[in-house]
Structure 1
Amino acid sequence: MTNKKYGGYLIDLDGTIYLGNKRIPAGENFIHRLQEAKIPYLLVTNNTTKTPRVVQKRLSQHFNIETPLETIYTASLATVDYMNDLGLEKTVYIIGEDGLKEAIYEAGYKKDRENPAYVVVALDTDLTYEMLVLATLAIHKGAKFIGTNPDLNLPNERGLTPGAGALIKMLEAATRVEATIIGKPEAIIADKAVEKLGLPKSDLLMVGDNYLTDIHTGINNGIDSLLVTTGFTKAEEVPNLPVPPTYVVSSLDEWEV
């Protein structure tokens, strides 16, 4: 297809470059074409369960993509950047997996189950009721409530499974406190990602499979968007989307970099 040429790309991973553990060859080809053309890109993911190094290794071993560590920007890293900007006491209670915990603890934050300055909530496949209780009580005591990303579902090879957003909604109901959301489509992660690429928003394209997160990142933050219908948002939904993406493709092989 004929399209505007962009100086840089913000690219989603799951559903766009791969789907769960399944390869999307067009997604792999897309990254290779950007690399060959020496076009800068940032892989911007709401997934907090894996560290950037694990994401890098997984891309290499399973999806035929070699990419520098600095091209991977997770909602975990954006959460740490936001917490550092706020500058509260460095105590935290986390519902989340190793990717999130490692990023936060490496930044100098200490675990506090009783009176943390922050409660950070992400996807946690080992979630227990007691973890929800501790988070609820801490928020009631005044802890800053942060949700890493609003994804209600996680698309994978099994279908649409519960995402971090579903856990955040549960705690919002229990505390009657609205979480500050870091990940796509919020301005917090978008602005940090744009800052890292060092290009004006007018020269960037946001690429993703999820209209509610990826494409709204573009719509809400003044960045052109490309929806690829390989994951969450299906082709039959496109005609009824309230604000259309700048572009829609069924495969990233259709896109000219």
Structure 2
Amino acid sequence: MKYKGYLIDLDGTMYRGKDPIPAAPRFIERLQNSQTPFLFVTNNTTKTQAEVARDLRENFGITVSTETVYTGSLATAAYLKGLNAGNKVFAIGETGLKSALADAGFVAEREQPDFVVVALDRKATYADFEAATLAIHKGARFIATNKDTNMPTEKGMVPGAGSLAALVIAATRVQPTFIGKPEAIIMEEAVATIGLDKKEVLMVGDNYETDILAGIHNGIDTLLVYTGFTKPEDLTADMAQPTYQVQSLDEWVL
């Protein structure tokens, strides 16, 4: 089947940590040459859209516009805005998340926030998790940007935002609202952004638990590429299968 547009993961699909994936820029060039719309849909909240685009260009030979990037930070800010339930947020997260929240009109508040948002934060301290826990106990809504327990890097699989959220879940016994893949929240926003119907797009990613389930749970066809998190032996017969599987994006015919 020929797809009119592509939703594409970053970590493990376009690169692994600081290591490039050789097929990735070739795949994007084929999409660009055929004028096929695409949108990078990433759970990573550490960078802004502009920073993601610059990183792709400078470090991985993938030249794209800022508008082709849709992050978990943008989806989180849009979701909170839609709730219309306050504008005070205590966020455990890096630049991408905090910038998106500020741009959406939210203000930082540590003691009495309306929301606690937990994302990947490589400089988070015990005191940050203590503040998050206490705020949730006082009634703040608990939001987690994504369920990714690990991220593929050049070092190997390192802790992801889901692992940090698990700490707060254990401390509060409160389940958060998750925003990123495989949740519907980010996928609905991504499909609306690319301007196509769900049946017209293909979700491309390396992680069965996030990328592929995002497609399966939301009526979008999927392409699992074995360059990152999920390995062929991880799929069992009793699991819902991806629509397509490839070892490399070079194998995929547009």
Q: TM-score, normalised by structure 2?
A: 0.98
Q: Are 1:11 and 2:11 counterparts? A: no
Task: Please say if residues 209 and 233 of structure 1, whose CA atoms lie closer than 8 Å, have aligned partners that are also in contact.
Answer: yes
1:152 and 2:149 equivalent? yes
1: CA distance, partners of 2:78 / 2:201? 22
Match of 1:100 among 97, 102, 119: 97
The superposition leaves residues 81-140 of structure 1 with CA deviations (integer Å, 9 ceiling, x where unpaired) of: 101110111100010111111111122111111110110000111111110110001111
Distance change in 2, residues 1:240/1:19 (3 Å): farther
- Measured after TM superposition, the shift of residue 237 of structure 1 is 2.2
Alignment pair present for 1:202 and 2:189: no
Equivalent residues of 1:235, 1:250 under 8 A apart? no
Task: Determine the structure 2 residue equivalent to 1:109.
Answer: 106
Specify every segment of 5 or more residues in structure 1 that has no aligned partner in the other structure, as ranges: none
- How many angstroms apart in 2 are the aligned matches of 1:215 and 1:241? 15
RMSD: 0.9
Task: Work out whether 1:225 is the aligned partner of 2:226.
Answer: no
Partner SS state of residue 235, structure 2: helix
1:58 aligned to 2:44?
Answer: no
**Counterpart mapping for 1:176-215 below 5 A:** 176-215=173-212
Counterpart amino acid of 1:53? A
- Contact 1:207–1:225 at 8 Å: present in 2 too? yes
TM-score (norm 1): 0.97
Q: Match of 1:163, as an amino acid?
A: G
Partner of 1:29: 26
1:44 aligns with 2:41: yes
- Do the aligned partners of 1:26 and 1:252 also contact (CA within 8 Å) in 2? yes
Match of 1:75 in 2: 72
Query: How far 1:169 sits from its partner (Å)?
Result: 1.1
Structure 1 letter corresponding to 2:121: D
Separation in 1, partners of 2:238, 2:17: 25
The CA deviation at 1:239 is 4.6
Distance in 2 (alpha carbons) for counterparts of 1:160 and 1:206: 22
Q: State the distance in 2 between where 1:21 and 1:152 align.
A: 19
Task: State which of 116, 119, 124 in structure 1 corresponds to 2:116.
Answer: 119
Q: Mark the runs of 5 or more structure 2 residues left unpaired by the alignment.
A: none
For 1:152, give the aligned amino acid. T
| Equivalent in the alignment of 1:133 | 130
- Matched-pair contact (CA < 8 Å) for 1:151–1:165: yes
| Matched AA of 2:144 | G
Residues 13, 29 of structure 1: alpha-carbon distance in 2 compared, 3 angstrom cutoff:
same
Q: Which amino acid aligns with 1:172?
A: I
Contact 1:205/1:225 (8 A) holds in 2 = yes
Give 1:236 deviation, angstroms: 2.5
Q: What CA distance in whole angstroms lies between the structure 2 residues aligned with 1:175 and 1:127? A: 18
Please state whether the residue corresponding to 1:161 is helix, strand or coil. Answer: strand
Question: What's the secondary structure of 1:232's corresponding residue?
Answer: coil
**Structure 2 Cα separation of the partners of residues 203 and 160 of structure 1:** 33
